[in-house]
Amino acid sequence: MRRYSAFAIARESARYHTGWERAWRSPEPKKEYEVVIVGAGGHGLATAFYLGKNYGITNVAIIEKGWLGGGNTGRNTTIIRSNYLQDPSAALYEKARSLYETMSQDLNFNVMFSPRGVIMLAQTEHEIRGYQRTAHANALQGVETEWIGPQKVKELCPIIELKGPRFPVLGGLWQPRGGTARHDAVAWGYARACSDMGMDIIQKCEVTGVKQSDGQVTGIESTKGSFGCKKLGIVVAGHSSDLANMAGFRLPMESVALQALVSEPIKPIMDVVIMANTVHGYLSQSDKGEMVIGGGTDAFNNYTQRGSFHHIEETVRALSETFPMISRLKMLRQWGGIVDVTGDRSPIIGKTPLGGCFINCGWGTGGFKAIPGSGWAFAETLAKGEPGELAAPFGMERFIEGRFIDESVAAGVAH
């Protein structure tokens, strides 16, 4: 794989850009792999990358029923933060945030990481207490956050209205090193690096069954034939329950749609990310000038990837009181993504009742921010057969033991 650089751009421009290689291969699948990862989204690709980089395991297939990065990785609002309350969560998300800072260099691919800062608005007295508590917890965890007052919020985001009639801004939890990245670029960068290691990325290949013998996984059945494997990693977000059923076990989670929309592009008006959890909305501006707007999850289980008028009305109506100028914008497009939500709003990373089968799911609407940390922790789990320090608290057995990692407050609008 040729490295991308200013010199490469100059060289290719001199020959009319005829020498660029494909970013990743599309090989025919082999009959046997050491590891098969189901799901070529950000988490699955990151897992494969760190399997190769950290453990030298490259006989890997990443299986995707659609196209690479076409699920939640390409449908989210790209927020990156690590200001979670519980110690295990803060450690995992802070690992992810720190890996994002060097990801472009590590992958030789510009993922457009923008550490512009994230503010979680407090618009009730209850939120003030909750976010101040989180700020103290983050200080003990080594995560850089601080509680700021309304005037500091206004200084960071001049377009905000502090004295909304229903939702006044009383302060916020500020993480200056949070931000955004380009979701497609994250998937493409990992895919390019995995392909360069010799891993097989197999698209348009739907898994139809999990093969097993004497309680041990032996491979998968798919629309492109059967593949043998020693270890199987399931990383398919909202469809995790379907794959678990194929493998013969159930998951303590549910699948719901999360909706988002973007406005028409406008000139730069805000350079931070704002989360307003009281009104179930969050807002940032993309590099193209679109206002990226997200809301809460649907109130019922479903697998839809479409938007609905109900969420436009509920989310935009509330955000318009806090950001009056957005009421004059036109909507450009709207979509939905299928998210997997656990009872304690924390992920599941670890072993399953089927030997050699491991699962990474339950990220709810917080999956994008966790991609590199999730991949790092799950790669260690697959390589060693046991979860490491980052992943150990997130095993599925915690729901039997009553050892919950409750992030319903830090998750805000379930993300």
Q: What is the pLDDT of residue 411?
A: 60
pLDDT higher than threshold 60 for residue 412: no
Q: What is the pLDDT of residue 317?
A: 87
pLDDT higher than threshold 90 for residue 101: yes
Q: What is the pLDDT of residue 414?
A: 42
pTM score: 0.95
Q: What is the pLDDT of residue 410?
A: 63
Identify how many contiguous H helices and E strands the chain contains and give both numbers.
11, 18
Mutual angle of helices 87-101 and 367-384, in 10-degree steps = 100
pLDDT higher than threshold 80 for residue 415: no
Please give the sequence-ordered ranges of beta strands (E in DSSP) within 18-177, or none if there are none: 32-38, 60-63, 79-80, 118-122, 146-148, 171-175
Q: For the segment 274-311, what is each residue's pLDDT rounded down to a tens digit?
A: 999 888 889 999 999 999 999 888 888 888 888 888 88
Q: For the segment 318-328, what is each residue's pLDDT rounded down to a tens digit?
A: 899 899 999 99
Q: For the segment 11-60, what is each residue's pLDDT rounded down to a tens digit?
A: 989 988 888 889 999 999 999 999 999 999 999 999 999 999 999 999 99
* Whole-number Å distance between alpha carbons of 115 and 358: 33
Q: Residues 108-118: what's their mean pLDDT?
A: 96
Other C-beta atoms lying within 10 Å of the C-beta of residue 272: 20
Mean pLDDT, the chain, integer: 93
Q: Residues 148-169: what's their mean pLDDT?
A: 94
Q: What is the pLDDT of residue 42?
A: 97
Q: Which amino acid is at 144?
A: E
DSSP reduced 3-state for 350: strand
* Whole-number Å distance between alpha carbons of 361 and 370: 11
Other C-beta atoms lying within 10 Å of the C-beta of residue 404: 15
Q: What is the pLDDT of residue 397?
A: 94
Q: For the segment 210-222, what is each residue's pLDDT rounded down to a tens digit?
A: 999 999 999 999 9
DSSP 387-415: --TTTGGG-TTHHHHT-----TTTTTTT-
CB burial of residue 189 (10 Å; 0-12, 13-18, 19+): buried
398 is written with which tokens?
């915690």
- Go through the domains of the chain in sequence order and give each one's CATH number: 27-82+84-108+183-251+344-401 (3.50.50.60), 118-179+255-342 (3.30.9.10)
Q: For the segment 220-236, what is each residue's pLDDT rounded down to a tens digit?
A: 999 999 999 999 999 99
* Whole-number Å distance between alpha carbons of 101 and 104: 8
Q: What is the pLDDT of residue 164?
A: 81
> Beta strands 253-263 and 331-342: pairing type?
antiparallel
Q: What is the pLDDT of residue 296?
A: 81
Q: What is the pLDDT of residue 160?
A: 95
Q: For the segment 345-364, what is each residue's pLDDT rounded down to a tens digit?
A: 999 999 999 999 999 999 99
